[in-house]
Homo-oligomer: A and B are copies of this chain.
């Protein structure tokens, strides 16, 4: 299996959007099992993989969890702000900071290809 079904992708994206917080692959799996009894992890992972390729979902590397993309831009590397208390994730776009990161790493001849930027802290509500 290579290309995950477009229907599956939509289904996963819907679950992610409904939930409103980062979800682990198994949380997604269980949410989807409600409507369909037989469903295995690879199905979910493949759909997630396709969604991420399309930029419709992001993976939180530091949490092993996934969120739907919150902006509409197709291709972008987000800065993700993750609330340690309530789990909400805010998505920011900031090309200059990515540019800067590339510059820093290129000091040694490194060729930057992809950035992972996650900020942990407290969201406005939880910090108040």
Instruction: Report which A residues bind B (CB closer than 8 A).
Output: 61-62, 79, 81, 83-84, 90, 92, 94, 97, 100-102, 104-105, 107-125, 127-128
Decide: B113 and A101 in contact? CB cutoff 8 A. Answer: no
- Chain B residue at minimal CB-CB distance from A97: B100
Contact of A123 among B79, B97, B101, B110 (CB under 8 A): B110
What 7 A-B pairs are tightest by C-beta distance, nearest first? A109-B124, A81-B105, A113-B121, A116-B118, A111-B127, A61-B62, A112-B121
Min CB gap A127→B, angstroms: 4
A99 vs chain B, min Cβ distance (A): 10
Chain B residues within 8 Å of A127, by CB: 109-111
